[in-house]
Chain A
């Protein structure tokens, strides 16, 4: 228990990155990511972390700098949020396509306009198709642990892909909560020094990022996709090792009280803990409700999700982002796709809620479940749960 401390999650995340012996951090501050990179800057300035901290002029440069650092064989980290992540968009494709094991923390925040600095997933969801592994933390301990696991996954030679660790802005990033901290030597045992699969080295010249015309582009994409799909089993292996060493167990998809559940809630990120509390309260009232939480969003653990949800009558999805003009939110769409070919399909009841930091609490989940169980038909494929109407 000696390592259990009350600490702000952003600071803990920065400490975890420090324990990973990163070589390069390049970042541009943006709320609510700021505390993560400020603390890393402190660690470097105080000589506690032997890394190069590059204070760049924009997020586009931040991701470009860590991409270059990674190509030279260094362990590289950046963090951002919202508009900053949007500004990185172009380079995110290059990092994954060049198979560079960069790790990034994203303190999820709404995107403008109106200007809004609070949590939702509309910054990360447009990055869904950039080829990064995407993980979502539920609490501070998990955000902390995922940072260390992320480097090991990214650098595994069967994967060699960048990893994005998402933590909800403020409701997770700025919370003070108990976190069991790891020791540097423990982390070193879990995460060996980086062994680049290949690197920019003047003594062994090579071209990283050359031209690839019609005759080779598809093959390059296939190779990348196979690595991304493979990352799921490598992650499971890493989570087993992590449990063996640290005693905490993680899965790509987690189920809570779903055994006999008639309605199963599906969530991502920090709202999941609140959802669990709501499930307990509803269970106490005799409502057969459970919860499935998606920790790994890319690659999407399709088989695990199908198995976790196949017994339910209704799957009630909370999407914290709208796909404008489309068929709902990204999680709802994914689940409908997963079940389209299944012999028995649960009804999928999707709500979009919690945009721009609008409060999500136990009553939110109780209302979702009430509507889902009432058998209320959705007029569209989704419902705006918490919008004010005349």
Chain B
């Protein structure tokens, strides 16, 4: 059995990548399982997804603690989360990284195999937007096999419809352009019959729990008013932000009322002001504005 963990950001398609690969493996006659890390759904926040592929039926319904392979869709995650956490010694890291960013690999090179590809560039050139989840699968197939480019066609066509051709092109190009870097000899699965747990059960609990039970407030209360102010939901934004057309805006305040994160607020002189710290880019304000004064556009477009 091969266990793979995907790292991406909410909305980048890490879960879709795991699903597509699982569907292909199942078409090949194998057993496979794909699932997200079940938690609060948040666009833009770091997320993980999991994939198991096996020749035998899979009787496990737990998160993957010690993956054989880790796939990183977004190069900015390397500084945010320990993507190699629990990765088996000699395991495979499949990374989306521009040529200029290869220095980041130094810390992984002597422990793991690394497959690297500039998936963001390939995605922009083939699909037109930097969504790397299909390109990175090409790298994964190059690095680990699992399925063939041919088998991927069916699941991709079902999933993407008329956009499938572009995505298949991204897959193909990433397969061709992926470099598998010189690596330490990987222990074959047969050499490692004993499951090595990365930490003890008690350590695992310490890692997950925020507070021990008798330190919680009565009834799990939160006694710091406005503590969510420290929680910048603006980090979740990934697909555009609202732009206000001042000539159309009548200061009715609808956007202020409807915004789920209080990211549209009145200034002292009564104008509506957008707050980048909390706007998660949901687009509700644009939908609700009675004057059509709000449009959702790419961040890079300046107002």
Contact = CB atoms under 8 A, between A and B. Distances in A.
Contact of B223 (A100, A206, A212, A218): A206
A210 interface: yes
Interface in B166-215: 208-214
B198 to A, nearest CB: 18
Contact of A206 (B208, B210, B216, B222): B222
B46 to A, nearest CB: 15
Given A215-B210, A216-B209, A216-B211, A210 B216 contact: no
Interface in B232-258: none
A379 interface: no
A20 B71 CA distance: 64
B221 interface: yes
Given A206-B223, A206-B225, A213-B39, A219 B218 contact: no
A371 B234 CA distance: 72
A197 B218 contact: yes
Nearest to B39: A213
A219 B209 CA distance: 8
Interface in A192-226: 197-198, 205-216, 218-220, 222-223, 226
A174 interface: no
A97 interface: yes
B219 A97 contact: yes
B37 to A, nearest CB: 10
A160 B218 contact: yes
B99 interface: no
B223 to A, nearest CB: 5
Contacts of A160: 218-219
B220 A216 contact: yes
Nearest to B215: A219
A255 B286 CA distance: 71
B40 A210 contact: no
A220 B212 CA distance: 9
Contacts of B216: 216, 219-220, 223
Contacts of B214: 223, 226
Contacts of B218: 99, 160, 197-198, 223
A72 to B, nearest CB: 14
A282 interface: no
Nearest to A160: B218
A234 B274 CA distance: 54
A212 B210 CA distance: 11
Contacts of A211: 40
Q: Which size bracket describes the interface of A in this complex?
A: 20 to 34
B219 A99 contact: yes
Contacts of A7: none
Contact of B221 (A210, A213, A214): A210
Nearest to A222: B213
Contacts of A215: 208-210
A56 interface: no
Q: Is the interface of A mostly helix, strand, loop or mixed?
A: loop
A216 B219 contact: no
A54 interface: no
Contact of B220 (A100, A210, A214): A210
Contacts of A220: 213, 216, 219-220
B158 to A, nearest CB: 32
A210 B209 contact: no
A216 B210 contact: yes
Given A205-B225, A213-B39, A214-B39, A98 B219 contact: yes
Given A206-B225, A219-B209, A212 B40 contact: no
Nearest to B205: A218
A223 B213 contact: yes
Contacts of B213: 218-220, 222-223, 226
A207 B218 CA distance: 11
Interface string A90-102: 0000000111100
B176 to A, nearest CB: 41
A206 B221 contact: yes
Given A219-B211, A223-B213, A212 B220 contact: yes
Contacts of B223: 198, 206
A214 B40 CA distance: 10
Contacts of A99: 218-219
Contacts of A219: 209, 211-213, 216
Contacts of B219: 97-100, 160, 208-209, 220
Nearest to A216: B210
B204 to A, nearest CB: 12
Contacts of A210: 220-222
Nearest to A97: B219
A216 to B, nearest CB: 6
Nearest to B208: A215
A213 B225 contact: no
A75 B224 CA distance: 25
Contacts of A198: 217-218, 221, 223
B221 A208 contact: yes
Nearest to B212: A219
A218 B219 CA distance: 12
Nearest to B207: A215
6 contacts: A197-B218, A198-B218, A206-B223, A215-B208, A216-B209, A216-B216
The 7 closest A-B pairs by CB, nearest first: A205-B225, A222-B213, A219-B213, A99-B219, A207-B222, A220-B220, A98-B219
Given A210-B220, A220-B219, 8 more contacts: A97-B219, A100-B219, A214-B39, A214-B208, A215-B209, A216-B209, A216-B210, A216-B211
Interface of A: 97-100, 160, 197-198, 205-216, 218-220, 222-223, 226
